[in-house]
A and B are shown apart, each in its own frame.
Chain A
Amino acid sequence: MLQQLVQSTIDRKVAEFHAHELPKFNFDKVSVDSSRNERLKRAIDNAVVRNDKGRQLKMLELPDSDRIRTLAGDIKQHTLDYLDYYLIQFTANVEKRGGQVHFASDGEHAKQIILDIVSSASVKRIIKSKSMVSEEIELAHVMEAAGLDVVETDLGEFIVQIDHDKPSHIVTPIIHKDKESIAKLFSEYFGTPYNDDPEALTAQARVYLRDKFRKADLGMTGGNFLVAETGDVVTVENEGNARQSMTTPRVLISLVGIEKLVPRMLDLSVMLKLLARSATGQTMTIYSSVFGGTRSAGETDGPEAAHVVLIDNGRTEILASEEYRETLRCIRCGACLNACPIYRKIGGHSYGSVYPGPIGALITPLMQGLEQYKDLPNASSLCGACYEACPVKINIPKHLINLRRDVVKREINHPVERLIYRAYAWAMGRPWRYRLASWGQKTTLRLIGHKGFVRRLPFPGGGWTQVRDMPEPAKKTFRQLWQNKK
């Protein structure tokens, strides 16, 4: 009965939420809007460029940063190629240590599993640490809507939660916000005087959240890695809130994507050396926690019940494609976002997806469907900075080109674009057609040009001359000049 009530509230709230979703990626709009946003650019320069520089410096400490990235990529690739084997091994090892593994086929299924655990354990207060998967399935929102007392405990995510906003970066979720707007938000939320000192703001959140930690009966974490041979979940963080989640509450749920496995404990020595360096230019993140199953006999903290929810949500579709499988190697460090000249210009919200930046432009269409996100593969200059930054060597530019190919193959690009290419193919087919086309083009442009420049191109070229003029073509075409020379 309660379950039904909870479910119906969720369904309604989820429907409402989707109705207010961020607009889908629209290249024209975001590139113009965001490039005019001075404040966003400053914030991005401050955070993203700094982390990118930090990464480049820190990678120099490694004996051979190129080959260790190859090794890390190979380890992840091997795990993906035998993922069914490692999932079974991981499950058995979690169960040996008193924990439970649940498999969720999609977001709805995962939410159902989690709500079942919540209701059967009579949980009242939930603390949640940062996890990209929970963003992916909008978990906190759904739990809030179900009337559960759930609080995001990562400082950035907490600010996102109370402001009903969305994160704009995988690692640093609120780089789009300045301290003035956070101070205003806190002043309204807590009913306290305005103070925009970051230390004071952090202290205020700390006091509020510490009480939540103390009273929580369910902790939620994500997982940066899962160790198949031991059944351990590994979380990596700077604040200590993920540690709180696996320390204080009596129930623990770790919600993780199925692709997060590594075979051996020893693999962590490779992964941890790369993750923090790539993400924030740190040697190590402050807390790397390795935990598995329930508390051991005699221990008085840690969970009495431990659940790992492993979610598919479109990942097996990617796995099935040998071409795109390697995109699942991603360890969510955010290095490709920081390195990307497009991300730096337009910011994370422009992508209309939980996963922004180059990796987001790649996995969002793969997981959610290319039709809906067909513009995302174009949000790249294909410069290759992302590939160079990637600690597991995902060839992002290659895959983005392949996705563009898929868009054309499936004829889901704009009809006018298809028409233009068809006309182009026709013109290139025979020399006389080419001559005709170039004569036509030259004549038209010289006709509409004025004093050597074309100020406004006719449809469909209007967008091109919106911000610049086009020089008039020369009187004679190259072919004519060539003929005369002979």
Chain B
Amino acid sequence: MNDPHNVIGKVSRSLGRSAPPATVPDPPALQEPLIRLVLSDIGLPALFEKRAKENKIGVTPLRVESLHEELIGYLKARRVKSIALPNSKFLNRLEIPRVLREAGFIVSIWDQMTLDQLYDVDASVTDVWRVVAETGSLVLRASPEHGRALSLVPQIHVAIVEPKNCVGDLIDLFELTTREGSSSATVIISGPSKTADIEMNLVTGVHGPGVVQVFLLK
């Protein structure tokens, strides 16, 4: 009990009790009107597009028929040679791996490559778990098919987003996370990696991708 290293015991004593309580009152209620900034589910993709652009994320809305052509054009314009992809049902259904290979890119799939190899890859093309309209953010979750490093290590990150991926507000996102349980790692991405450490000069592309581009399907 009086072990100096027993921190929880010390916390209890500091709070005036001899042992931690078995139950506690509910934490303060989260009054939604105070927190919620996006009130409607209508027009979420358009709001996401606007906010993401404010975050310096490129957004190209398009029909699925023109996705292949636009994607290849985008990557070629940036002199991308090698691309990493998650093993994603969605991307496979859109035939992204096949089309990119046929266009001459070196394509690696996450569960068939090593993390070390990823450091030499130019770009990643991923799906998303959700996007948040309020903040213009992409939300990605780690899984065996979709590694944490995919949206972090290559200098260009391209995400393909469907309208049904859109949630309105951060509350909606965390309600969903609470319902579905945490993954080992979830990241909310709100722009290209940046720093303003040197005299407040904004420099993009520090340790994460310097370019984040979204193809937003209609």
Interface range, A side = 35 or more
The segment from A20-28, A290-298, A422-430, A439-447 that touches chain B is: A290-298
Which A residues are in CB contact (< 8 Å) with B110?
300
Query: Once bound together, how far apart are the Cα atoms of A263 and B191, in whole Å?
Result: 28
Looking at chain B, what size class is its interface with the partner chain?
35 or more
Judge whether B68 is part of the interface by a CB distance below 8 angstroms.
Answer: no
- Kindly list chain B residues whose C-beta atoms are within 8 Å of the C-beta of A273: 35, 37, 170
| Binary A-proximity of B26-51 (CB < 8 A = 1, otherwise 0) | 01101101111100000000000001
A474 interface residue, CB < 8 Å from B? no
Assuming the A-B contacts A104-B7, A174-B198, A266-B175, are A286 and B208 also in contact, with contact meaning beta carbons closer than 8 angstroms in the complex?
yes
A136 at the interface (CB under 8 A from B): no
- A-side interface residues toward B, CB under 8 Å? 43, 46-47, 50, 61-64, 67-68, 71, 74-75, 78-79, 81-88, 97, 103-105, 109, 153-156, 159, 172-175, 177-179, 182, 198-199, 201-202, 205-206, 209-210, 213-214, 230-232, 238-241, 243-244, 246-248, 258, 263-270, 272-273, 280, 282-302, 310, 312, 316-317, 319-320
B193 and A238 contact, CB distance less than 8 A: yes
A104 surroundings in chain B (CB, below 8 A): 5, 7
Q: Which of A82, A288, A292, A293 contacts B188 (CB 8 A)?
A: A288
List 8 additional contacts besides A199-B201, A265-B182, A287-B193; criterion CB under 8 Å: A47-B200, A85-B21, A87-B11, A104-B5, A105-B4, A172-B196, A269-B170, A292-B185
Contact partners of A316 in chain B: CB under 8 A: 7, 10-11, 13-14
Given the contacts A273-B35, A287-B187, A210 and B8 also touching, CB distance less than 8 Å: no
Known: A85-B20, A265-B178, A286-B192. A213 touches B28 (CB 8 A): no
Q: Are A269 and B188 closer than 8 Å at their CB atoms? A: no
Residues of B within 8 A of A296 (CB): 142-144, 183-184
Among A105, A214, A266, A283, the residue within 8 A (CB) of B190 is A283
Contact (Cβ within 8 A) A272 B170:
yes
Contact A302 B185 (CB under 8 A): yes
Q: Which of A174, A198, A258 contacts B7 (CB 8 A)?
A: A258
CB-nearest residue of chain B relative to A206? B206
Q: Is the CB of B207 within 8 A of A213?
A: yes
Q: How far is the CB of B185 from chain A (nearest CB, A)?
A: 4
Bound Cα distance A319, B114 (Å): 47
Q: How far, in Å, is A326 (CB) from chain B's closest CB?
A: 14
Q: Kindly provide the distance from the CB of B48 to the nearest chain A CB, expressed in whole angstroms.
A: 13
Which single residue of chain B is at the shortest CB-CB distance from A231? Answer: B182
Contact between A79 and B35 (Cβ–Cβ < 8 Å)? no
Complex: A87 Cα to B9 Cα, angstroms: 11
* Shortest Cβ-Cβ A-B pairs, 3 listed: A240-B208, A298-B144, A240-B207
Q: B135 interface residue, CB < 8 Å from A?
A: yes
Interface residues of B (CB under 8 A from A): 4-8, 10-15, 17, 20-21, 24-25, 27-28, 30-31, 33-37, 51, 54-55, 110-111, 114-116, 119, 135-137, 142-144, 147-149, 152, 169-171, 173-175, 177-178, 181-201, 203, 205-209
Interface pair A67/B27, CB less than 8 Å apart: no
Q: Is the CB of A178 within 8 A of B7?
A: no
Q: Which residues of A contact B116 (CB under 8 A)?
A: 214
Which of these, A78, A105, A287, contacts B10 with CB under 8 Å? A105
Among the listed B143, B182, B186, B199, which residue makes an inter-chain contact with A178, where contact means beta carbons less than 8 Å apart?
A: B199
Give the complex CA separation of A154 and B34 in angstroms.
Answer: 34
Inter-chain contact B170/A287, CB cutoff 8 Å: no
Q: Contacts A84-B11, A88-B8, A302-B142 given: A155-B206 contact, CB under 8 Å? A: yes
Q: How far is the CA of A47 from the CA of B196 in the complex (A)?
A: 9
CB <8 Å contact, A319 and B11 = yes
B198 near A202 with CB under 8 A, answer: yes
- Closest chain A residue to B203, Cβ basis: A202
Contact B143 A299 (CB under 8 A): yes
